[in-house]
Amino acid sequence: MSTAVRQPAAAAADRKPATMGQALRHALRDAMADDPDVHVFGEDVGSLGGVFRVTDGLTAEFGPDRCTDTPLAEAGILGTAAGMAMYGLRPVVEMQFDAFAYPGFEQLVSHISRMRNRTRGKLPMPLTVRIPYGGGIGGVEHHSDSSEAYYMATPGLHVVTPATVADAYGLLRASIASDDPVVFLEPKRLYWSKADWDPQEPEAVPGIGRAVVRRRGSSATLITYGPSVPVCLEAAEAAREEHGDGAEGWDLEVIDLRSLVPFDEETVAASVRRTGRAVVVHESPGFAGPGGEIAARITERCFHYLEAPVLRVAGFDIPYPPPMLERHHLPGVDRILDAVARLQWESGFTESGGFGQGRGGGAV
């Protein structure tokens, strides 16, 4: 099976607007065409083409034995996938919505994440779990969770989430090619985001475990992933317009983590050491969320470079709210800029060796 990522298109004229959903569909199709061991299955992925139409046309092209509808039984779906992977197949399963995956969590924690270690490497686990996640689409309860912290805290799983069309294709191909289980989190509200992209020659992207600097800056670093990447880029532009990008302005760098596990400490630490300030942004609840782990790692690696405590902008510590209230729950430009304003621009370290009081710290 070929695992190489195709090279960039030779001519920009071949690149046309494509959505993230289309890029994901092309990744699945190309993987199935390249390797007969790749099987796609899940609830409504066949004749319906999935709730978000990501698998549309795959059953017609490859047949119901390669793209298969399943009963509403997430534990059975993941248990079946584990058995298929143990016998050398490469299953790609779709959990229809983020919170629908919870009934299958025991299979992930007790078996899928542990199998390669349990067998001392004799049994790889080439299994990809696609999970549409996050808010921003007006979904009701069980349709808008940001559950990445659960998977990040499970040793043995890789956890990735794209924020661009190119990454949607490249990271999904890399996930399917991996011999380790990958939880592939797809930001629902970015399914319809567009970028110029050539499906015949998709551009090369960094692999799993690598972060990317989406916007260069010098004043502070916004560290984010998935659905919050466009929000942070918008916040960085708003900061430049409101405060300028000179010596006294806010010139914000934006890092897209792309891969939560493995975590790219080198790229993050290099940025924070240069800017001296950091804000972690994600939709997941703040308490015991990904931002806490990321902030701890930054503090351990960059303590003597920091001009202020690492702050977090996160979802509130509540069950996901009703659709009419989700705009208050999700991190937005104003909340991000409020956090940046609290990065102790006036004070820095005190003479006693601790952080100055400044404008305060902690989760926003």
Show which residues are catalytic.
143
Query: How far from 320 is each of 99, 140, 189, 316, 317, CA to CA, in Å?
Result: 11, 8, 15, 9, 9
Task: Count CA atoms within 13 Å of residue 155 on its CB side.
Answer: 4
The two beta strands, 67-69 and 252-256, are unpaired
Q: Which two three-digit tokens encode residue 170? A: 């490249």
Query: For residues 332 and 93, what is the distance between their CA atoms, to the nearest angstrom?
Result: 32
End-to-end CA distance of the chain: 46
| Angle (nearest 5°) at CA 152 between 51 and 225 | 65
Which residue in 147, 202, 156, 151 sits closest to 179, CA to CA? Answer: 156
Task: Tell me if 195 sits within 8 A of 165, measured CB to CB.
Answer: yes
- φ/ψ of residue 315, rounded to 5: -65, 155
Please, how many CA atoms are within 13 Å of residue 266, restricted to the half-sphere of its CB? 3
Rg (CA), the chain: 21
State the amino acid at position 143 in one-letter form: H
- DSSP bridge partners of 182: 128, 158
Q: Reply yes or no: is the peptide bond before residue 262 cis, omega within 30 of 0.
A: yes
| CB-based contact 223:258 (threshold 8 Å) | no
Q: Tell me, what amino acid is at 222?
A: L
Chain centre distance of CA 350: 37
Contact 101, 74 (CB under 8 A): yes
